[in-house]
């Protein structure tokens, strides 16, 4: 139990912006191909990034302000 607690990742919703992922994760395509291994990620959740799945700041241009 303890070891899993230590490895917990935290996904935080940034208001009007991105999903912030803290902790070691592997980001993959549906076919299993690894996009990136990271300890910190900022992922697009507004749908407007031209660099998906990553955030590129486009949320500020599209007035994405939802929870």
Partner 1 sequence: MQEKKKYYKSDKSTVSFEARKCIHAAECANGLPEVFNPNERPWVNTEGAEVERIKEVIERCPSGALKYELKDDAGNERPKTNAEITVVPNGPLYFSGNMEIVDSEGNVVGEEYRAALCRCGHSQNKPFCDNSHIKENFNAE
Least distance CB 3 / partner 1 (angstroms): 8
Least distance CB 57 / partner 1 (angstroms): 14
- Within a 13 Å sphere around the CA of 33, how many CA atoms are in the beta-carbon half? 3
Site residues (vs partner 1, CB under 8 A): 4-5, 7-16, 19, 21, 23-30, 35, 41, 43-48, 52-53, 62, 64, 66-67
Nearer Cβ to partner 1, position 9 or 60? 9
Phi, psi of 19 (to 5 degrees): -100, 125
Q: Rounded distance, CA 53 to CA 43, Å?
A: 6
């Amino acid at each position: 139990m303890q070891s899993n607690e230590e490895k917990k990742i935290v996904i935080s919703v940034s208001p009007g912006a991105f999903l912030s992922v803290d902790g070691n994760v592997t980001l993959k395509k549906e076919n299993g191909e690894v996009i990136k291994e990271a300890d910190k990620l900022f992922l697009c959740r507004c749908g407007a990034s031209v660099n998906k799945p990553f955030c590129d700041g486009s949320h500020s241009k599209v007035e994405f302000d939802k929870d």
